């Protein structure tokens, strides 16, 4: 059983734009079951500080788009990973080894067994701008997420809503909750569109340190 091998260590800090098919509150992070019965998402990551082994991945942009027929933990997920074309081959390999769960570390190692079909890394032009509640990420022409603040239904005023996990969350610990003006993705047989649903702008920090 326990074969000990020194594993490449990594750490990654960055900003994320997360959007999915759920109503506000993303059930997958609380109750485990998405309210549409299915889980479809597009998430963009902009690495602000990261290193995988000797490879510096600071500045690399990644987008994952996917769909699950049931709750995430019930598996059979189809996930496509995009990496910005400006990244070097070493950087692409490095982020792939993190996002595919190969180097361990949560949440990607726990997610790996739920993915039935993994495509990528697809190299494409990723345009990403994280600027508070109005953020956006685009991959070529076929994938786009544009976030917009939640509005108070009575007064129409912008709402400042955060979801915080003081003891550590699944993807992130503190999310600025917004909604989407545009949320769509098309890549091969992966096709989804869920505007006006849950979205969060959140810093992420992952590592495989034990």
Partner 1 sequence: MAIPLRGDSTCRVEQRNLTMDHAPGPDRGSATAIASAQGPALRDSAVVVAGIALLVGAGWAYLVLEAGRMQAGAGGMSGMGTMTMPSALVAPGLHAWSPVDLLLLFTMWAIMMVAMMLPSATPMITLFAGVSRGRRQRGDAWVPTAVFVAGYILLWTSFAALAALAQWGLHRAALLSPMMRSTSPLLGGGLLIAAGIYQFTPLKRACLSQCRSPLGFLSRHWREGVRGALQLGVRHGTYCIGCCAVLMTLLFVLGVMNLLWIAAIAVFVLAEKVLPRGEWIARAAGVLLIGWGGWVVAGAL
Residues at the contact surface with partner 1, assessed by CB under 8 A? 1-5, 7, 28-33, 37, 71-76, 80, 82-83, 85, 89, 92-93, 96-97, 100-102, 104, 106-107, 109-125, 139-140, 142, 167-170, 187-188, 210
Closest by Cα among 65, 200, 183, 185 to 130: 200
Sign of the dihedral defined by the CA atoms of residues 25, 202, 10, 119, in that order? positive
**By C-beta, is 10 or 118 nearer to partner 1?**
118
Name the residue nearer to partner 1 (CB basis): 122 or 161.
122
82 vs 148, which CB is nearer to partner 1?
82
What is the H or E stretch that residue 34 is in?
Answer: none
Long-range contacts, 62-65 (Cβ 8 Å, 24+): 62/95, 62/99, 62/126, 63/126, 63/128, 63/137, 63/139, 63/143, 64/99, 65/41, 65/139, 65/143, 65/185, 65/187, 65/190, 65/192
Decide if 155 contacts 198 (C-beta within 8 A).
no
Considering Cα of 95, then 51, then 53, then 72, what sign does the dihedral take?
negative
Minimum gap (Å) between residue 145 Cβ and partner 1: 16
Q: How far is the CB of 124 from partner 1 (least distance, A)?
A: 5
Q: Cα(15)–Cα(11) distance, rounded to whole angstroms?
A: 14
Number of Cβ within a 10 Å radius of residue 76: 12
Nearest residue (CB) to partner 1, 44 versus 120: 120
As a whole number of angstroms, the distance between CA 32 and CA 126 comes to 30
- Minimum distance between the CB of residue 190 and partner 1, rounded to whole angstroms? 10
Nearest residue (CB) to partner 1, 118 versus 148: 118
Least distance in angstroms from the C-beta of 172 to partner 1: 11
Nearer to partner 1, 113 or 132 (CB): 113
Q: At its nearest, how many Å lie between partner 1 and the CB of residue 27?
A: 9
Least distance in angstroms from the C-beta of 4 to partner 1 = 5
């Amino acid at each position: 059983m326990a074969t000990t091998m020194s594993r490449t260590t990594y750490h990654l800090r960055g900003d994320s734009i997360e959007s999915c098919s759920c109503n506000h509150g993303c059930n997958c992070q609380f109750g485990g079951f998405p309210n549409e019965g299915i889980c479809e998402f597009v998430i963009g990551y902009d690495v602000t500080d990261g290193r995988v082994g000797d490879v510096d991945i600071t500045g690399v942009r990644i987008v994952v788009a996917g769909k699950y027929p049931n709750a995430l933990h019930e598996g059979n997920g189809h996930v496509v990973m995009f990496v910005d074309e400006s990244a070097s081959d070493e950087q692409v390999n490095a982020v792939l080894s993190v996002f595919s769960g190969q180097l361990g570390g949560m949440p990607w190692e726990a997610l790996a067994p739920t993915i039935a079909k993994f495509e990528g890394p697809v190299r494409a032009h990723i345009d990403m701008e994280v600027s508070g509640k109005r953020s956006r990420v685009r991959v070529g022409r076929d994938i786009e997420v544009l976030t917009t603040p939640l509005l108070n239904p009575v007064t129409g005023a912008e709402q400042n809503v955060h979801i915080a996990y003081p003891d550590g969350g699944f993807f992130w610990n503190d999310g600025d909750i917004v909604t989407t003006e545009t949320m769509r993705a098309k890549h091969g047989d992966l096709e989804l569109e869920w505007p006006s649903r849950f979205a969060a702008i959140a810093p992420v920090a992952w590592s495989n340190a034990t």
